[in-house]
Chains A and B, each alone.
Chain A
Amino acid sequence: MRLRPVARDGHGFALPTRRQLAVVGGYAAAAALYIVIGVLVTDFLLSVFVAIVYLLVVAWLVPAAVRRVR
């Protein structure tokens, strides 16, 4: 039996597609780095604004820059 994703409008559980898993992987890598920095320098964990800027840089600006260079 092969499982496939089911689109259910945000309700109920469904399996992610490969593309979605790749996105999750990117965020997981960003989270791992954030956690390492945060454990070493706990002040880094204190502000949601710092987290927003961090995530915008890591998950949007850097990938956008890489795509542009390619």
Chain B
Amino acid sequence: MSWAAHDLEPYAIQRHTRWKIAFVPLLFGSYSPDMMTKWFVYGIHLGPWELKAHDPAKFHRGWPGFGFTHSLLYGVVICLIFWKLLGSKSWGIAFLVGQWAHALTDTGDTVGTMLLFPWTFHFHVDAWAYAGQTGRMTDAAAYFSGLGGMWDAVWIVYGVFSWRVLTRSYFEEHVYTADGFWPKVNRFVPTSALLVFYRAAFFYGTSRWIAWTVWAHVIHHYPYDLSWGGPHWVHAAHP
């Protein structure tokens, strides 16, 4: 899984698409595969009870489980719901692009994704260890010690290079005009607040990448292991 790439990819996509793309559904699509499942992968405590998937990796990415949320077909289905049922082609396509970006990015770890679901084969590049089953903190430590964290860093650097997509003028000329969502909300909320909202995912992805890196390597001294499939000090899950 990726920790910051899903926050940052929409800005890169925004930069590279020559056609106007609705940013909110793009971001929503990028987040959507993990929205309902992450809490159950890591587990939560409710009083004396712990709610956690018996097999977190399978629940998250497999079948039976919610792995279909990381398939290309899932993006197409939600796209068609936006397009044909709710009447918004632009939201449908933007959601599709964001969700596909997420599904493809997550093939980078050792579990991968069932891209062609209902075919349950997992496409996985094995570049970094999937360690969601170890709990949130160990997963964070592992992710930010391996190539997954470096992959996120690539997106941050790319985002800095593309800084103009974060400017007010770009927002007003390209983002605001591409989607009726912004003018509607703008009736109640000033443009300056909408601009902050637009920048928030980039802020979140970049800031928490730095914070988790500091936490893992300055506070706790987890060792870096940038070898393929690492870090190897954590037990990596496989499909």
Contact = CB atoms under 8 A, between A and B. Distances in A.
A24 B193 CA distance: 16
A22 interface: no
B215 A52 contact: no
A8 B169 CA distance: 11
Interface stretch (B76-84, B125-133, B200-208): B200-208
A59 B161 CA distance: 22
B31 interface: yes
Kindly state the interface size class of chain B when it binds its partner: 20 to 34
B219 interface: yes
A56 B197 contact: yes
A30 B212 contact: no
B193 A14 contact: no
B147 to A, nearest CB: 21
A4 interface: no
Interface residues of A, number: 27
B164 A10 contact: yes
A50 to B, nearest CB: 9
B215 A42 contact: yes
A38 B207 contact: yes
Interface string A52-70: 1001100110001000000
A55 B162 contact: no
A34 B205 CA distance: 12
A24 B199 CA distance: 11
Contacts of B161: 13
Contacts of A31: 203, 206-207, 210
23 contacts: A9-B164, A11-B164, A16-B163, A20-B167, A27-B199, A31-B203, A31-B210, A34-B207, A34-B211, A38-B208, A38-B211, A39-B214, A39-B219, A42-B137, A42-B212, A42-B215, A45-B211, A48-B204, A51-B204, A51-B207, A55-B196, A59-B196, A64-B192
Interface of B: 7, 15, 31, 136-137, 140, 161-165, 167, 170, 174, 192-193, 196-197, 199-201, 203-204, 206-208, 210-212, 214-215, 219
